[in-house]
A = this chain, B = another copy of it.
Amino acid sequence: MSGRLAVVGLGPGDARWLTAEAEAELACAQALYGYLHYLDRVPVRLGQARHPSDNREEDARAAAALRHAAQGAQVALVSGGDPGVFAMAAAVCAQIEAGPAVWRSIEVAIVPGVTAMLAVAARAGAPLGQDFCALSLSDNLKPWDLIERRLDAAAGAGFAIALYNPVSRSRPWQLGAAFERLRRQLPATTPVVVGRAIGRGDEDVTITTLADTNAVTADMATLVIVGSAQTRVIPRPGRCSLVYAPRLTETVRA
């Protein structure tokens, strides 16, 4: 009996961002695994086992899902956003590499989704419309000086920067330190987009500048986009400003 593991991206908070493929994978799975708050977003179906787990248990969750699939089951492991961006797909690969040889013969399907930075960018205009990078501010598994070097490299070369995992209870200072670092290289007027709980009822999007980021409050549901020196803001009467990266890069200051 041949099992199968689908690693399914749910997209950000809003169910309207689920793809048809993800919907189909969730419907046909025999067992569901995932961080409990992501699993809560999947409708309960009769005959489908649900295995919620806590936030910090990525490796154990991936291993449990693989073990179940190796027994011949059709398993779906859900992930917020896109499973390939700071999420479960890499954890599954790491477990396959480290685990029993039989796990390498399990059929694995990664089901892509809308990752948070795309949803936040969409709310603001097109701040990721030109070259950009995505950087996690979590220094749980990489040293902070590497994060600083990456911030320097990205800002210095003119990439817009999407900051994932800006803050957690155990990492309260990293976002402020990142803004401070970026202010060394980028103009004070550089636009910054702060998106919180995108796609949920309490969604909030704030457009500010690098100079004013001291006032930014963030939590685990926050994603931050820092523009480049090229990024433009269009004020609109009675509407939110639009933030975008122009296609024509005129100066080569970067």
On whether the beta carbons of B17 and A17 are closer than 8 Å, the reply is no
Q: A252 at the A/B interface (Cβ < 8 Å)?
A: yes
Number of copies of this chain that the complex holds: 2
On whether the beta carbons of B245 and A90 are closer than 8 Å, the reply is yes
Known A16-B24, A150-B159: A133·B130 in contact at CB below 8 Å = no
Chain B residues with Cβ under 8 A from A128's Cβ?
84-85, 134
Q: A126 at the A/B interface (Cβ < 8 Å)?
A: yes
On whether the beta carbons of A90 and B134 are closer than 8 Å, the reply is no
Q: A46 at the A/B interface (Cβ < 8 Å)?
A: no
Measured CB to CB, the residues of A under 8 A from B are: 11, 14-21, 23-24, 82-87, 89-94, 96-97, 104-105, 107-108, 110-115, 118-119, 121-123, 125-136, 141-143, 145-146, 149-150, 152-154, 156-159, 232, 234-239, 242, 244-249, 252, 254
A232 to chain B, nearest CB (A): 7
On whether the beta carbons of A90 and B157 are closer than 8 Å, the reply is no
Bound together, the chains give a CA A239 to CA B126 distance in angstroms of: 38
On whether the beta carbons of A143 and B252 are closer than 8 Å, the reply is yes
On whether the beta carbons of A130 and B86 are closer than 8 Å, the reply is yes
